[in-house]
A and B are shown apart, each in its own frame.
Chain A
Amino acid sequence: MIARLRMLGKMVLGLLQVLGRSGSFVALSLFRVPNIRKGTPLLIKQLYMVGVLSLPIIVVSGIFIGMVLSLQGYTILVDFGAEQAVGTMLALSLTRELGPVVTGLLFAGRAGSSLTAEIGLMKATEQITSMEMLSVDPLRYVIAPRLLAGFIAMPILALIFNAVGIWGGYLVSVEWLNVDSGSFWSNMQGATEFGEDVLNGIIKTVVFAFVVSWIAVFQGFDAVPTSEGIGRATTKTVVYGSLAILGLDFILTAVMFGDL
């Protein structure tokens, strides 16, 4: 009994320690006077690595998800003679849920894992230590640009995902299944509100971006500097990141749309 209590206490203490470390880690990297002259080139490079290089996977997934959604929606709606509503269904499900969530999951897999592996390897090869010995703060030089790039890139990626998804849905429902183009667009416009749907979706992606980038850089920085440790940290990034996104998505949806 006592042994179990002790184990429980140890686990809770360990958890709190990790939370504290990661909290102070993110605070130390971000809440600083920014150095625009030196920081901007680093940020731009990371925006390219994290954002631009994630574009192909986001665009391709967006097209296919939009296509599948409208195909599935059409087969159900056509039984009720309501196939014009396929545009509405497409736009609402993409902006409210699928855009933020799928982008977040893909981002955790594509950009998050590479951030973790990169930082972990920099640590294993003593690059982080040597940076400290050259009096350059790695939190500022390595971590902060990557975190910021994640915050900036992911909401934009989610918006691109939405737009491409709607286009994919248009291809299937209008071009292929002959839904009337006018009613497709006008139903969509009539049902989608900027504040209610699009903005809430963007708020979700900002939250997901923060959580995923935080988990990714912290796991990399906190990784055991061996090949096994880096492998484990990369896995943790994807697993924790995805679970955090799905869990937070439910909470945010309940807060945003619970009273509708």
Chain B
Amino acid sequence: MSATSDNFIEIRGLCFAQGDRVIFDNIDIDVPRGQITAVMGPSGTGKTTLLRLIGRQLRPTAGEILIDGQNVCELGRKDLYALRRRMGMLFQSGALFTDRTVYDNVAFPLREHTRLPEAMIRDIVLMKLQAVGLRGARDMMPSELSGGMNRRAALARTIALDPEIIMYDEPFAGQDPIGMGVLLELIRLLNSSLSMTSIVVSHDIQETASIADKIYVIAEGKVIGKGSPQQLREDQSPMVRQFMQGLPDGPVPFHYPAQDFGDDMLGEHQ
């Protein structure tokens, strides 16, 4: 299988700026079909923005994003909504609808996009909830769920329509070790058993590296490293090394840019 012809998503020459701040400066990313691609980088480098660009919540300043051959930037409303039905996105906050139960949250996309009878929707919802281990929590409201359960319920909603690709936005952030393990297992399982394509945006290196087939490291608007987890661990460029090993200081400075500390301290009295 050649890597270039079988990419679900191809990003070419993507530039994006918010106001004066350049977030992406001409980056290329390939997401191979049926594999787990991780996008990593220090916080604030626009990893979530990348997912929003792919889902066309935002429009790039320049460059193109091809999803299964279609350029998302040029799609009309109808085609865009048709394409989004094939994509799932797991938000960092879960983003469950707070006015309905877990069951109704998972049933929501089914009720909106299909005309299935309620009995069949019930079967599908229970299957999805069983897959994430929350069948017993179906009658709970989102506010009653713990952080980990919240994210799993959101995952069940995301997979309700069996999307071809799932984008995970910081799936491990703020999870306890057990919740993290559960999510890792779920992502791996969904990917292998349903042959979904996955994009995981994260800065949890160990966890992400353990499931990813391919990793992109983004910093300061550019792709600074890519390859398999093994290749990246052996990468010698200082920035990638700093990030992969979690060193506090290096090319990415510990301090946010500021004037000289001594001058700043004295500044008040002058």
Contact = CB atoms under 8 A, between A and B. Distances in A.
Interface in B71-118: 81-82, 84-85, 87-89, 91-93, 95-98, 108-109, 112-113
Given A126-B93, A129-B91, A134 B98 contact: no
B158 to A, nearest CB: 8
Nearest to B52: A129
B162 to A, nearest CB: 13
Interface in A112-148: 125-127, 129-137, 141
A133 B98 CA distance: 17
Nearest to A141: B112
Interface in B125-163: 154, 157, 161
Given A125-B98, A127-B97, A129-B57, A134 B108 contact: yes
A125 B55 contact: no
Nearest to B115: A37
Contacts of A132: 55, 57, 84
A137 B161 CA distance: 16
Given A135-B84, A135-B85, A130 B95 contact: yes
Contacts of A131: 97
Contacts of A38: 112
Contacts of B97: 127, 131
Contacts of A136: 108-109, 112
Contact of B93 (A125, A134, A135, A141): A125
Interface residues of A, number: 14
A228 to B, nearest CB: 18
A82 B109 CA distance: 66
Main DSSP-derived SS at the A contact region: helix
A127 B87 CA distance: 16
A33 B109 CA distance: 20
A126 B142 CA distance: 14
A133 B81 contact: no
Contact of A130 (B82, B89, B113): B89
Contact of A133 (B82, B88, B92): B88
A42 to B, nearest CB: 11
B147 to A, nearest CB: 14
Contacts of A127: 95-98
Nearest to A126: B95
A130 B109 CA distance: 11
Given A38-B112, A130-B89, A135 B81 contact: yes
Nearest to B93: A126
B156 to A, nearest CB: 13
Contact of B109 (A125, A129, A134, A137): A134
A46 B266 CA distance: 60
Contacts of B87: 133
Contacts of A126: 91-93, 95
Contacts of B84: 132-135
Most A Cβ at <10 Å: residue of B85, B91, B95: B95
Contacts of B81: 135, 137
Nearest to A45: B99
Contacts of B92: 126
A127 B112 CA distance: 16
Contacts of B108: 134, 136
B168 to A, nearest CB: 13
A141 B92 CA distance: 23
A10 to B, nearest CB: 16
Nearest to A28: B77
B105 to A, nearest CB: 10
Given A127-B98, A129-B57, A129-B95, A135 B82 contact: yes
Interface in B210-240: none
Name the 3 nearest CB pairs between A and B, nearest first. Answer: A130-B95, A126-B95, A135-B84
14 contacts: A38-B112, A129-B57, A130-B95, A130-B154, A134-B108, A134-B109, A134-B112, A134-B161, A135-B84, A135-B85, A135-B109, A135-B112, A136-B108, A136-B109
Given A129-B95, A134-B109, 7 more contacts: A38-B112, A129-B91, A132-B55, A132-B84, A134-B84, A135-B84, A136-B108
Interface of A: 38, 125-127, 129-137, 141
